[in-house]
Amino acid sequence: MHSMRVALAVLGACVFVSASATNCLADVIYASGVERRQLERRGWSYEGADGVMNWGKFNNTCVAGERQSPINFEGDELAISSRPNLRWSNLMTPFNFTNNGHTVQMALVQSTPNLVSTEPDGRQYIVQQVHFHSPSEHHVDEHYYDLEAHFVHTTPDGKLNVIGVFFEVGEEENVWIGQFVDKLPPKNNTITQVPSLDMTQIIDKLSTAQFYSYTGSLTTPPCTEGVLWMVAREPLVISLGQLKKLREVMPFNSRPVQANVASEPEAFVGKESKGSGQSTSEESVARTVEGIYKSGASSLMGGRILSGVLATAAALLL
C-alpha cells in the first residue's frame, strides 16, 4: 500500500464586484491526510485534487477542447435572429428529483416526449432532465447570476441541446421553484418524487424570451463538445429563502468561464421582442446581486462571489 499526503488548495471568493471592475481576493485552504481511495470513490469534484483544474484526468477534452462551456456573453456585440420554437405538450408533469452529490437533478418520470425545442435548421430536441448550478456558470458582460437552471435535451441520434435559465435574488418567490424547493433530496444518491409539477410559469417565460446561442460543451466531465446552447438573456426572480434552500442540498457547483470557444455567440429573439426594450434589457443583465453562497467546504463564500475566478489547485505527494 502506498502512503501519501494530499494537499488541497481552494482559490476563490470574489470580495468586490462593481460595474466597471472586479477585484477578487484568493484565499487558500490547506488540508492533508485524505486517502487516495476516498478521492477515487468521490470522482470528479469542484475543488481539491479532483477539482476543475484537474478535470483533464477524467477526460482530456476538459482541458484540451476548443469549444468548452461556460462562456461570457458580450451583450452589445450580438447579432439578432429568429427565436427557436419551444413547445411543451404536458404542463402538469411528474419528476423524480435526485441529489447526485454535484447537483439536484430533475428527471421526467414518464417516457413520453415533453418539452421540444426546435433549432433553426428544424432539428428537434426532447427534454431529458433539468439540473441547477449556483452561482451561474455563464456570465453576461462579466457578471454572474445567483442560479442557473439547465434543461438538457437530446435527439435520437445523440445530439445535445441545453437551454439555460438565469435566476437572480428578488423580493418575490419563484412560483415554479416554490413547488419543489421544500421537497429536494438532502443527501447524495437520494431520490424524491414530485407527482405533479406545473411548468406553466417557466415555459411561458421561455416562449417569449431572448436567447444567446452558441456551440459549446457540457460543463462537467466528460466535457463533451458539440452541444447547442441556448441561454435565456433575462433572468427570472428567486427569493433569498428559496436560493438558500437549494444551496443547502448541493455544493458549490459552478465551472469557471472558459476562454477557448471557437465560435461567436448570437442572440435569438422572439418577434414580439424585436426593436423594443433593449436599453431596459441591458440594464437588467448588467446588475449584480450580492452572493450569499455558503457551503461546508468554505466559509469564504459569505461575501460576493465571482464564479469565473473560482479556481482550485491540488498536489499529491506520494
Active-site residues, by number, are: 102
Using CA atoms, how far residue 317 sits from 36, 219, 236, in Å, is 11, 29, 46
Nearest Cα neighbor of 127 from 145, 110, 144, 104 is 110
C-alpha to C-alpha distance for 143 and 122, rounded to whole angstroms: 32
Biggest CA–CA distance in the chain, Å, is 67
Instruction: Work out the burial of residue 156: count CB atoms within 10 Å of its CB; fewer than 13 is exposed, 13-18 middle, 19 or more buried.
Output: exposed
Which residues are registered as beta bridge partners of 105?
98, 131
Which residues are registered as beta bridge partners of 163?
151, 230
Using CA atoms, how far residue 106 sits from 90, 103, 127, 137, in Å, is 16, 10, 11, 18
